[in-house]
Amino acid sequence: MMENTKCYCLKVPLHQVKYALSSFENFLRDDLKFSKENGFIFLPLKSVPADLKGFELIERSFNKRNRKVSYREIADVPDEVRKNLPRSFDVVGDIGILKLEESLLKFKKEIGEAMLKANNALRVVCIDRGIKKDFRLRDLEVIAGENRTVTTHREYGVDLRLDLKEVFFSPRLAQEHWLSTRFVKENSTVLDMFAGCGPFSILIGKQCKPAKIYAVDINPKAIKWLKENILKNKLEEVVEPIQGDVGRISKRLREKGIRMDNIVMNLPFGARSFFKDALSLCRNGGLILYYEILDKKASTKRMEDLKREGLELGKKIEVLSRREVKSYSAKEINISLIVKVRD
């Protein structure tokens, strides 16, 4: 039930709302919802300003705002460890993923239950013990809710089905997935070198009308989910899933005479060793979207390294953009480069 609270308010004509909000910012109550009637907005006040700037002061009832309760407030943990509860967590589909420090592990059940209570959309809560090397998989443990790690994640209108224990996926890369669609033109041929369950390939396939996307991953389970997502998003004619090491697959594609207009290289700890493969597959004027996690001081040098590698293959490389995706550690950053390749 919505609670009603009576208080003084300002009666403001709609066309003056912006002016009133900026003039009385410090006088307004943030626990009550503004109300609207007959061309006026009513702004509830916590104290009455000396100068009303010509607005009418009246008394009126207001509905309470629904304040979202954080799991940190309701978790049944001792007060001395409450401050250690993480302020943020990842959400993939209906699964919440938390990193817990040592002092919190013995309260994992209580923390998981609080997460479910405070976040209606969650059905599962997991703790994340870090990324395992080979296929970049998360080491997960379900601590509350349904005992599963399979979910459907929605990103920019695209549904991706995946098992977090079987394939890498990070909701924090959503913007990167989206940005990749900005540089792919209609009828292009695209290579997604490290495709995972397909966030780049599926979004590009849906948004850019490419002629063909070759989506490669070494992890057979990633390919299983990629295939499911290709079907789910009706991209069977466009996206070709290929399981295997991208070094070997690149050689095979090259031998068949296939060349790419765009190449996505999203393996931040390993893309470097496949850059030459990408160069040799890239058409004159093609673009490579390259990610790497490296020492903060090394990023300028890395651009020089890549240019040199280009020259060794008789290609000219122009770095069109360099962006910091995020800080990875105190010393390392994840950078994204858009590289234009010329013969």
**Which positions lie near ligand SAM, rule CB under 6 A?**
135-136, 168-169, 173, 194-196, 199-200, 216-219, 222, 245-246, 266-267, 270
> What gap in Å lies between CA 134 and CA 251, rounded to an integer?
22
Q: 191 forms bridges with which residues in the sheet?
A: 214, 263
- Residue 79: CB atoms within 10 A of its CB come to 6
The residue type of 256 is K
- Whichever of 107 and 200 has its CB closer to ligand SAM, that residue is 200
Q: Is 25 helix (H, G, I), strand (E, B) or coil?
A: helix
Beta strands in 168-297 (DSSP E): 189-192, 212-217, 239-243, 260-265, 282-295
Rounded least distance, CB 203 to ligand SAM, Å: 10
> What gap in Å lies between CA 309 and CA 321, rounded to an integer?
18
> What gap in Å lies between CA 288 and CA 266, rounded to an integer?
11
Rounded least distance, CB 320 to ligand SAM, Å: 21
What 304-307 contacts at long range (C-beta under 8 Å, 24+ apart), as own/partner pairs, is 306/275, 306/337, 306/339
Rounded least distance, CB 321 to ligand SAM, Å: 19
> What gap in Å lies between CA 124 and CA 113, rounded to an integer?
9
Cα angle for residues 236, 198, 248 (degrees, 5° grid): 90
Tokens encoding 180: 């990749």
> What gap in Å lies between CA 174 and CA 280, rounded to an integer?
28
- Whichever of 9 and 160 has its CB closer to ligand SAM, that residue is 160
- Whichever of 119 and 266 has its CB closer to ligand SAM, that residue is 266
The residue type of 226 is L
> What gap in Å lies between CA 320 and CA 128, rounded to an integer?
36
> What gap in Å lies between CA 301 and CA 160, rounded to an integer?
37
- Whichever of 55 and 291 has its CB closer to ligand SAM, that residue is 291
- Whichever of 93 and 145 has its CB closer to ligand SAM, that residue is 93
Give 13's Cβ-side CA count (13 Å radius).
5
- Whichever of 238 and 246 has its CB closer to ligand SAM, that residue is 246
- Whichever of 220 and 285 has its CB closer to ligand SAM, that residue is 220
Rounded least distance, CB 170 to ligand SAM, Å: 6
- Whichever of 168 and 275 has its CB closer to ligand SAM, that residue is 168
- Whichever of 245 and 305 has its CB closer to ligand SAM, that residue is 245
Name the residue number minimizing CB distance to ligand SAM. Answer: 196
Rounded least distance, CB 100 to ligand SAM, Å: 23
Rounded least distance, CB 297 to ligand SAM, Å: 23
Rounded least distance, CB 288 to ligand SAM, Å: 14
Rounded least distance, CB 146 to ligand SAM, Å: 23
Q: Is 324 helix (H, G, I), strand (E, B) or coil?
A: strand
Using alpha carbons, select from 281, 285, 274, 266 the residue that is nearest to residue 337: 266
Rounded least distance, CB 283 to ligand SAM, Å: 21
